[in-house]
């Protein structure tokens, strides 16, 4: 994976890709890169007018609010209908970071609800389409976007929604990204056990100059908001570089189920795609199995694979 760039994306003619949260940042950069590959690209947006305004020619927009499970179900059904129930790559890119304590439509804490629960439900609902498109030689892929922040995370499976603990935005974000990594690993274990032609891969962008980090700083007050731009400029890499790990995870040759890909530079903060490190908590299969069950209970979506 040395110095892999968007120039190494293969010809994807005949393949169908869905990218969530693609109206800005890493999602928008992913869609723009994929639109040049010959793939059929679908992108999700909470605001479809905004989605259509930024979508490259030929890219289809699907309305999706990951903080609303009814929207997740509707979007999954629409994607399956539009694509003839065949999806080659699902890139779970959308996310929120560092928000004050807010709840989703379904009553979940916003960060765990959007970053993990909404994406898990979407993945399960789209699994028939992913399974139908995959083959033993070229399995379909689910790409889960994680974060360096997972390393500071811990999960309380009895209080995922921060109803009993004192809420801290940074800890809640780290927990949601830890949940993403655990979900990606458990999904891949279950796909292997079922013998399905689908793999699950995780990726993270290091420190990248997106609106996500800037918005998080601005929520911390006027001074932090004023520093958001200079802080990003000094400490982060460009979106064009930060998007490479997730594109590599979704489309590069040699990627295997269960892989975790991030920037290969110092402390995984920047650089070209390379194998990334998980925290010990992110490698706990018992927690991953328990999270899988809790996620199914909270979302009321049937896990797939079920076994």
In the 8-state DSSP scheme, what is residue 85?
Answer: S
141 forms beta bridges with 89, 199
Decide: 38 and 12 in contact? Cβ < 8 Å: yes
Cα 275 from Cα 288, distance rounded (Å): 21
Cα 2 from Cα 155, distance rounded (Å): 34
Among 202, 220, 214, CA closest to 239: 214
| Strand, helix or coil for residue 60 | strand
Q: CA quadruple 92, 184, 288, 272: dihedral positive or negative?
A: negative
Among 247, 53, 279, CA closest to 147: 279
Helices (H), the chain: 25-34, 48-54, 69-82, 110-112, 119-133, 169-194, 211-218, 222-235, 239-242, 244-251, 285-299
Angle at 66 between CA 183 and CA 297, to 5 degrees: 50
CB-based contacts of 151: which residues, under 8 Å, 6+ apart? 174, 279
* Chain CA centroid to CA 8, Å: 21
260 given a catalytic annotation: no
Catalytic residue among 101, 167, 173, 260: 173
Give me the active site residues, please.
173
């Amino acid at each position: 994976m040395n110095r892999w760039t968007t120039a190494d994306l293969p010809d994807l003619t005949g393949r169908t890709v869905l990218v969530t949260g693609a109206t800005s940042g890493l999602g928008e950069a992913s869609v723009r890169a994929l639109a040049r590959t010959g793939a059929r690209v679908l992108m999700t947006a909470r605001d479809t007018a905004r989605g259509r305004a930024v979508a490259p020619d030929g890219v289809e927009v699907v309305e999706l609010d990951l903080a609303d499970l009814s929207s997740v179900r509707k979007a999954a059904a629409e994607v399956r209908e539009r694509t003839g129930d065949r999806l080659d790559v699902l890139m779970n890119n959308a996310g929120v970071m560092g928000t004050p304590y807010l709840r989703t439509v379904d009553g979940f804490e916003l960060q765990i609800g959007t970053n993990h629960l909404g994406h898990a439900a979407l993945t399960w609902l789209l699994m028939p389409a992913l399974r139908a498109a995959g083959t033993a030689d070229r399995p379909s892929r689910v790409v889960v976007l994680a974060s360096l922040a997972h390393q500071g995370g811990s999960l309380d499976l009895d209080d995922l929604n921060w109803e009993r603990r004192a809420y801290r935005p940074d800890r809640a974000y780290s927990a949601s990204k830890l949940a993403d990594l655990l979900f990606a690993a458990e999904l891949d274990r279950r796909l292997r056990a079922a013998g399905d032609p689908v793999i699950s891969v995780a990726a993270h962008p290091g420190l990248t100059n997106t609106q996500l980090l800037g918005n998080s700083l601005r929520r911390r007050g006027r001074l932090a908001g004023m520093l958001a731009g200079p802080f990003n400029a000094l400490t982060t890499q460009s979106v064009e570089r930060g998007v490479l790990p997730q594109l590599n995870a979704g489309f590069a040759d040699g990627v295997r189920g269960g892989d975790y890909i991030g920037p290969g530079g110092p402390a995984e903060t920047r650089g070209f795609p390379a194998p990334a490190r998980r925290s010990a908590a992110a490698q706990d299969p018992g927690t991953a199995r328990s999270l899988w069950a809790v996620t199914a209970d909270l979302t009321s979506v049937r896990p797939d694979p079920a076994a």
